[in-house]
Amino acid sequence: MNRRTPLLADLLHRCSALRFHLCVVLLTLLSGLSATAQLSMPIPDGLVSELSDAATALRSAVTPYTLQATARTATTSGLRQAEESASSGLRLLELPAVEYRQLPDEKLWGNWITTAAGAPAWRGVLQLEESGWNTLYFVDYQLKRGDMLLITSEEGEVRGAFTEANNGASRTLTTAPLYGERIAIYYYPASSEEVGGELPWRLEGITTALLSSIGDDLPPAKGGDRKPGAPWFTVKGLECTDATVRHPEVSRIARSELQLVVRGRFFSSGTLINNSRQDGDALVLTAAHCLNNSYQNRALDYVRQSAEQTVFFFQYASPTGDPLINGSLEQSLAGAELVAFNEEHDMCLLRITGVRPDVPQGQCAIPPSYRPYFAGWNAERDFPAPVVGIHHPRTSVQRYNRADEKPPLESYDMSFVPVRWVDSHLHIKRWDAGTTAVGSSGSGLFDKNHHLVGALTGGSSSCGSPINDYYYALSEVFTGYPDDKCLKPHLAPTSDQTVLEGLNPFISLPPVRLSHQLYSLMRDSVLVRIADGSTTGVAVRYDIDTSVQYLGTMAVLGAMDAWQPLELAIYSATDGRPDKQIYKQQLQAPQYNWFDKGVERSGERSLTDAFETFIPVEGTDPVTLPAGRYYIALETTDASTPLKAPLLLSKLQSHEEPYAWHRIGTSWEPAQLGGAPYLGHYWIDPIVAGHIKDQGTDPSLSPDDTPRVILAGERLFILLPKSWSSGAEPVQLELFASSGQRLLVTTLLYGNASLLLTDYALGRGVYIVNLTGGGERYSCKLLIP
């Protein structure tokens, strides 16, 4: 089934009112074990098969302890209903949930067992009232070196292994959600002397977020049979809001935008923010109402607990221009402390505590493979337009907004919020591209120089009416309050500056995603690989000009019915072909999302069912790749078994020599598709740390001294040299028909711009593109076939 999704919010055209259905972030799994990073250690090989057997036993043999819920939240609270009917409302997304907060003593629901390998372990199994996303909260958490804690569901999903690396000052641990209604907790002590003693942790509570209806936005799950790839639910949508990858000019600040899940049921956004110490302190700016339940629970103890029970997802973004392709969910951290909190401005500043414990103070403790960027900021009232918003509306992948007019500072008042915000908020009167929605709360607003100037409180914008959103202004809460209620003591502790640039914390050895697709203009011109009976592996070539450290791989795959055992391997090159295998690791089933657009599905699955997964390097020892040519491969564990994985591959970007290779049996050969040489790329992107020249992209796509105008499918891309885009005057684009009639004139705000030609009803024929800027002119012909 081939369904085309128009993407209308671009740099050159105001969005129109269109709708689509998209997925809320679900931790849906393929068969087999799957683990989310969240600063967890690799599961020892000896436990993998044991846990797989345990997941099977959870479904039938093991008798669980049945928990009784202590509270339930309504599908929509009175406040939510008021928001929906009001002209303007907070943009926090809340799922209905079941709370379990009075758990019995561990001795009542667990006991010590002996594993198949003969080692002692503690196991407890809990039966919940309903299936849903389960977030677990541990207190008194203080593991010793060598101890391990693992959580599994009957679906085979795993969280952990958690170790002493997760010990923190608060002695708490919050897990990323895992799906199911039966949960097992395994504790493996380092020493048999601990058997029978007090456990070095206590399960304090569980929140189960339900996939039931919130108005018309979240229809109930379809059917009761949860098979891999089965439809979940639909969410009405945001078709006018582009995925951030379509706007490479914001790629750096997009790395600072995070998705937040608070208390297992509140979904919002936040921004990693720099401070004058330039030390990579894991500070996240979001909105106060994201932690105080939209001003219903204003006690600081509640807010502090909300911070401790927050999970942060990094780089949750579509890898292509299609915002329905699901980003990676494996890059997450959990737990935070409250740094500053001011309800008079809706400001909240957090510090992530669930970071790497082995990093010296004064250095960034976020894993470098997450490629974090700490946004710069401007705390002055005067800042340049246009302004850009980056956010996670309805918990979707990162989206892009833009308003060309500078927003004025105004009051923002909502009758159902017990706080009056006077002259404190930046008012977006109209978006020129995109809209916000529930889930966007706390997201960043950036000025023309990509400095953070505000964070979203609420509004009423939609695709049909992209007007009236309100961001609290950094300038109004920077000073003038006690240290725990303003930003300066934390963002500028060493100076009096009011403007600060952003920070790439690993600049000495920058983490880079090598990709022939991600940074390409043709990244959305892709296909899904169809399995054949002879190919047992695929590999993609990368030329690296300096020694780098390998951190992991991002792979983009299509929908599948079952996970096939795979290995990721790295080969060095001899005579221009894969030769010696220098690294390999076996892959567990990745997290998986399925999208349903409210229509009956055929057996054929479209590109919008694709997902991206992160494969971190195995083990703790660094893997160094000297300068040279390498092939990153996905292959079956048995060279006689065909590869079924539906990887994405490019339709364009051909080369004179092959970049894609196929393993036929045990031999590597240049890739062929349909009997013809294939000169594109499979979507397998390594992440490396090192100073490389070109991020693995095709250098022919980068402008030098001349503008580039490229027609890729239905989208026109314009790349401007720095000499053009850095001038004081904006660049003007004109489009003429061959008859001389001017069809379009617009201003290019950035060095990279795109234009969807279907928006202008252009027929086949020859057109003329004129560019004027920096005292120079450039013209070229454009042929639309």
Model confidence over 196-217: pLDDT tens digits? 888 999 999 999 988 653 333 3
Q: Three-state DSSP class for 295?
A: coil
Mean pLDDT on 550-574: 89
Look at 247-261, 319-333, 416-430, 455-469 and tell me which has the smallest mean pLDDT: 319-333
Q: Three-state DSSP class for 298?
A: coil
Report the pLDDT value the prediction gives residue 409, as an integer from 0 to 100: 97
Say how far apart CA 144 and CA 502 lie, in whole Å: 37
Most confident range (mean pLDDT) of 24-38, 147-161, 319-333, 401-415 is 401-415
Per DSSP, which regions of 263-392 are E strands?
266-272, 283-287, 310-313, 332-334, 336-342, 347-352, 376-378, 387-391
Say how far apart CA 10 and CA 753 lie, in whole Å: 8
pLDDT tier, 527 (very low <50, low <70, confident <90, very high otherwise): confident
Report the pLDDT value the prediction gives residue 217, as an integer from 0 to 100: 38
Report the pLDDT value the prediction gives residue 565, as an integer from 0 to 100: 86
694 and 701 Cβ atoms separated by less than 8 Å:
no
Residue 9 has pLDDT above 80, yes or no: no
662 and 556 Cβ atoms separated by less than 8 Å:
no
CATH hierarchy code of domain 254-500:
2.40.10.10
Residue 20 has pLDDT above 50, yes or no: no
Residue written as token pair 């950035």: 750
Domains 254-500 and 511-689 share a fold: no
Q: What is the DSSP string of 36-93?
A: E-TT-PPPPHHHHHHHHHHHHHHHTTSPPEEP--SEE--SS-HHHHHHHHSSSEE--E
Task: Give whole-number Cα distances, 94 to 180, 294, 312, in Å.
Answer: 19, 10, 16
CATH number for 34-67+103-209 (one of 3.30.70, 1.20.120, 1.10.3470, 2.60.120): it is 2.60.120
Task: Please report, for the chain, the start and end positions of each structural domain, with discontinuous segments joined by +.
Answer: 34-67+103-209, 254-500, 511-689, 703-784
Report the pLDDT value the prediction gives residue 718, as an integer from 0 to 100: 81
Instruction: Tell me the pLDDT of the chain averaged across its residues.
Output: 81
pLDDT tier, 750 (very low <50, low <70, confident <90, very high otherwise): low
Model confidence over 344-370: pLDDT tens digits? 999 999 999 999 888 888 899 999 999
Percent of the chain with pLDDT over 90: 46
168 and 152 Cβ atoms separated by less than 8 Å:
no
- Give the pair of three-digit tokens for residue 242: 């582009």
Report the pLDDT value the prediction gives residue 591, as an integer from 0 to 100: 54
Report the pLDDT value the prediction gives residue 281, as an integer from 0 to 100: 96
Residue 457's CB: how many other CB atoms inside 10 A?
30
Find, among 598, 540, 528, the residue nearest to 568 by Cα: 540
Strand 178-188 vs strand 120-139: parallel, antiparallel, or unpaired? Answer: antiparallel
Say how far apart CA 578 and CA 641 lie, in whole Å: 19
Residue written as token pair 């990858």: 245
Most confident range (mean pLDDT) of 598-612, 616-630, 758-772 is 616-630
- Give the pair of three-digit tokens for residue 206: 């569980």
Say how far apart CA 95 and CA 26 lie, in whole Å: 12
Domain 511-689 annotated CATH 2.60.120: yes
- Give the pair of three-digit tokens for residue 192: 């048999």
pLDDT tier, 395 (very low <50, low <70, confident <90, very high otherwise): confident
Say how far apart CA 265 and CA 174 lie, in whole Å: 13
Say how far apart CA 65 and CA 431 lie, in whole Å: 52
Say how far apart CA 709 and CA 784 lie, in whole Å: 13
200 and 140 Cβ atoms separated by less than 8 Å:
yes
Contact partners, residue 38, CB within 8 Å, separation at least 6:
159, 175, 176, 311, 332, 333, 334, 354
* Residue 35, preceding peptide bond in cis (omega within 30° of 0): no
Find, among 423, 405, 403, 404, the residue nearest to 413 by Cα: 423
Say how far apart CA 158 and CA 673 lie, in whole Å: 37
Report the pLDDT value the prediction gives residue 635, as an integer from 0 to 100: 95
Task: Give whole-number Cα distances, 694 to 371, 518, 679, 701, in Å.
Answer: 16, 13, 20, 11
Report the pLDDT value the prediction gives residue 42, as an integer from 0 to 100: 65
Q: What is the DSSP string of 262-280?
A: ETTTEEEEEEEB--TT-S-
Model confidence over 282-298: pLDDT tens digits? 999 999 999 999 999 99
- When computed from its CA atoms, the radius of gyration of the chain, rounded to whole angstroms, is 26
Q: Which fold has domain 703-784?
A: Immunoglobulin-like (2.60.40)
Say how far apart CA 784 and CA 765 lie, in whole Å: 5
Report the pLDDT value the prediction gives residue 444, as an integer from 0 to 100: 98
Report the pLDDT value the prediction gives residue 650, as an integer from 0 to 100: 86
Contact partners, residue 471, CB within 8 Å, separation at least 6:
389, 407, 425, 426, 428, 445, 453, 454, 455, 456, 457
pLDDT tier, 624 (very low <50, low <70, confident <90, very high otherwise): very high
Residue 15 has pLDDT above 50, yes or no: no
Strand 611-616 vs strand 660-664: parallel, antiparallel, or unpaired? Answer: unpaired
Model confidence over 641-690: pLDDT tens digits? 999 988 988 887 767 789 999 999 889 999 998 888 998 899 999 999 99
Sheet holding 566-574, edge to edge: 577-587, 566-574, 628-636, 535-544, 660-664, 667-670
Model confidence over 35-86: pLDDT tens digits? 456 777 666 666 665 665 555 555 566 789 999 999 998 644 333 433 333 4
Sheet holding 715-719, edge to edge: 708-712, 715-719, 752-756
Say how far apart CA 355 and CA 670 lie, in whole Å: 43
Q: What is the DSSP string of 365-378?
A: -S-GGG---BBEEE
Task: Give whole-number Cα distances, 590 to 36, 210, 242, in Å.
Answer: 9, 22, 26
Contact partners, residue 391, CB within 8 Å, separation at least 6:
257, 269, 398, 399, 401, 436, 439, 440, 443, 444, 456
SS3 content of the chain, % helix, strand, coil (to 5): 10, 40, 50
Find, among 110, 172, 115, 108, the residue nearest to 140 by Cα: 172
169 and 217 Cβ atoms separated by less than 8 Å:
no
Model confidence over 430-482: pLDDT tens digits? 999 999 998 999 999 999 999 999 999 999 999 889 999 999 999 999 999 99
